[in-house]
């Protein structure tokens, strides 16, 4: 974590000179009160900008209210914090305008801090105009140590605070006498004050930068991350191109293997062939020579029966098959016109047919046909 820290007073009005402290490695290096704390804190020659330091804004005690609450027995931490926020809101006259944060203190205690939403909104706008976007916004009095006995006080310049335990208030003589009676508040000064400022980041449990006022994180990449992202994009591109190329090669190898297997299977029947296409042509010629293939009986016969299914009034009275691959049949129907659709269906299917119509002794129309595969 970057040790540089810039503490500033949270602005309560326009054009206000703001107290600031610049700490490096936990040591106060510079301090002042200027209208532009960021520019003033860099007068030593550094020009880091807020992106290189942690900025914590401190709200004056008279703008905030810190209350201690007893934790609810048998309640979870989340339930105890929620109940404390509800109690703090119920005790306020301006509850609809409050922004409340809470934290656990000790084993059973809960502390809440509240501030007006309008105060937070206006102060953040003023800081933005100074190129400041604080990482945390804390009640100034919360930086003071909460001693079990006695009270302590501190003067931030823009705010004088006194604290006893979890009771934090503006260090006003009348309030001190009323709230702390005869307790003597030990002032925090010098090195002790600087050490208190250095511990501000450890007091961020009551941080008003939450909920609607949470700081928006800006994501940025350094050169190393950019190079890594570039290599990742390049690798993704190479993989995206390589995957289809590998698949194409696998398909090519598989197709070549299938062709080789087909040629090996056909070799005992038709001999060695140059390609699967030539092997297929040789097999067709072999089938034709052996009265097989398209001229086998099932081919024209199945076509004939398929055509007859379309004309239910036509029947077969004779069926024969020749070695030349021609199926001969006699079709019978009431009229010759009933037989014609079956013949047309055979022709449309690509078969070569002949038909000789005649009439039998009963007067039924008959046709002696032949069917041959193309």
Mean pLDDT of the chain: 85
Confidence of residue 118 (pLDDT cuts 50, 70, 90): very high
Distance CA 264, CA 10 (A): 89
Q: Are 19 and 36 in contact (CB under 8 A)?
A: no
The model's pLDDT over 126-168, given as tens digits with 9 standing for 90+, comes to: 999 999 999 999 999 999 988 767 788 999 999 999 998 888 8
Confidence of residue 59 (pLDDT cuts 50, 70, 90): very high
Confidence of residue 3 (pLDDT cuts 50, 70, 90): low
Confidence of residue 198 (pLDDT cuts 50, 70, 90): very high
Residue 316, strand partner residues: 331
Question: Cβ atoms within 10 A of the Cβ of 73, count?
Answer: 7
Q: Write 199-205 long-range contacts (CB < 8 A, 24+).
A: 199/143, 200/5, 200/7, 200/56, 200/58, 200/136, 200/138, 200/143, 201/5, 201/54, 201/56, 201/136, 203/138, 203/142, 203/143, 204/56, 204/136, 204/138, 205/103
CA–chain centroid gap for 326, Å, is 70
Distance CA 362, CA 316 (A): 16
Rg for the chain (alpha carbons), in Å? 49
pTM of the model: 0.58
Please tell me which residue, 183 or 29, carries the higher pLDDT value: 29
**1 pLDDT higher than 60:** no
Distance CA 163, CA 208 (A): 20
The model's pLDDT over 259-294, given as tens digits with 9 standing for 90+, comes to: 888 878 878 877 788 888 887 777 767 766 665 555
Confidence of residue 220 (pLDDT cuts 50, 70, 90): low
Residue 264 CA: distances (Å) to CA of 138, 203, 272, 285, 370: 86, 84, 8, 18, 39
* Max CA pair span of the chain: 144
**340 pLDDT higher than 80:** yes
């Amino acid at each position: 974590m970057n040790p540089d820290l810039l503490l500033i007073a949270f602005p309560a009005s326009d054009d206000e000179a703001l107290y600031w402290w610049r700490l490096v490695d936990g040591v106060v290096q510079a301090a002042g009160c200027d209208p532009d704390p960021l520019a003033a804190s860099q007068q030593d020659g550094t020009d880091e900008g807020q992106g290189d330091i942690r900025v914590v804004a401190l709200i004056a005690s008279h703008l905030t209210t810190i209350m201690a609450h007893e934790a609810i027995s048998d309640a979870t931490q989340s339930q105890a914090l929620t109940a404390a926020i509800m109690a703090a809101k119920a005790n306020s006259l301006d509850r609809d305008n409050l922004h409340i944060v809470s934290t656990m203190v000790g084993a059973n205690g809960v502390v809440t801090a509240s501030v007006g939403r309008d105060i937070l909104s206006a102060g953040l706008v003023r800081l933005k105009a100074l190129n400041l976007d604080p990482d945390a916004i804390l009640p100034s009095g919360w930086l003071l140590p909460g001693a079990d006995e006695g009270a302590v006080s501190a003067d931030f310049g823009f705010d004088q605070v006194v604290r006893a335990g979890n009771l934090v208030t503006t260090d006003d003589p009348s309030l001190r006498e009323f709230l702390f009676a005869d307790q003597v508040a030990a002032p925090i000064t010098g090195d002790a004050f600087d050490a208190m400022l250095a511990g501000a980041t450890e007091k961020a449990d009551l941080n008003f930068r939450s909920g609607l006022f949470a700081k928006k994180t800006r994501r940025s990449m350094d050169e190393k991350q950019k190079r890594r992202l570039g290599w990742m994009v390049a690798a993704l591109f190479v993989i995206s191109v390589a995957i289809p190329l590998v698949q194409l090669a696998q398909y090519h190898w598989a197709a070549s293997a299938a062709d080789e297997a087909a040629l090996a299977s056909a070799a005992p029947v038709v001999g060695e062939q140059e390609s699967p296409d030539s092997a297929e042509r040789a097999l067709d010629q072999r089938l034709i020579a052996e009265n097989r293939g398209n001229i086998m009986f099932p081919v024209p016969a199945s076509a004939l029966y398929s055509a007859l299914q379309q004309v239910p009034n036509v029947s077969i009275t004779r069926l024969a098959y020749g070695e030349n691959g021609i199926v001969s049949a006699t079709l019978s129907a009431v009229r010759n016109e009933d037989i014609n659709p079956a013949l047309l269906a055979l022709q449309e299917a690509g078969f070569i047919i002949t038909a000789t119509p005649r009439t039998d002794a009963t007067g039924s129309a008959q046709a002696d046909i032949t069917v041959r595969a193309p």
